[in-house]
Amino acid sequence: MQATRIIAIRHGETAWNVDTRIQGHLDIPLNDTGLWQARRLGAALADEPLAAIYTSDLQRARTTAQAVADTTGAPLTLETGLRERGFGHFEGRTFVEIEAELPDEARRWRQREPDYAPAGGESLTTVRTRIAQTVHRLAARHTGEQMVLVAHGGVLDALYRLATGQDTQSPRTWYLGNAAINRLLWTPDGLTLVGWGDVGHLEAGVRDELHS
């Protein structure tokens, strides 16, 4: 059966990740740690045979993807279908602020109601469909090859659920680390999980260069 190997990456860290502030479609840059993570990621994937790199057009993902393109020479393409979930009026607020200011909506969000969408945002059902369609379209171009997807926490969450057959309301028990390496296999029948949450390239011993 035709298959495409996928390396799926969440972008490097941003200041808003640290502050637990919802980014959604807001275009937030990487912080210094995120830039370091992107460099380490690029070095870790330098010898991987890659047919293509696809990235969300938001700069935190785009900068992370460029670090991989720089070391591998693989072509880089912007893909709006890989954007983070749109969080509407949640965007720019912290988790604590949402709980305090919008308690009813916070409860629905926390309970992962599949069809609930913050005003101006997307529901989990909408995001899952968008990601499934986008990955199918991109992976079908590269059967027999390997590609990289650089996206966001919500996108990686959807990919894990699609690959493991878990619904949108299942409690999350898996890691969505910034710049972690996650591996999936795509066939026309769907996604399967190969490996998840590899952070060997980000281990503490090599972090000294960040402060040098």
Q: Which residues participate in catalysis according to the annotation?
A: 11, 84
| Whether the Cβ atoms of residue 6 and residue 186 lie closer than 8 Å to each other | yes
Nearest Cα residue to 134 out of 58, 67, 78, 59: 78
Nearest Cα residue to 33 out of 211, 200, 180, 199: 211
| Cα separation, 179 vs 161, whole angstroms | 19
Q: If you search the block for the tokens 């101006």, which residue do you land on? A: 120
Structure tokens at 130: 């968008």
Structure tokens at 186: 């795509």
E strands, 12-153, where?
52-55, 76-78, 146-151
CB atoms within 10 A of CB 155: 28
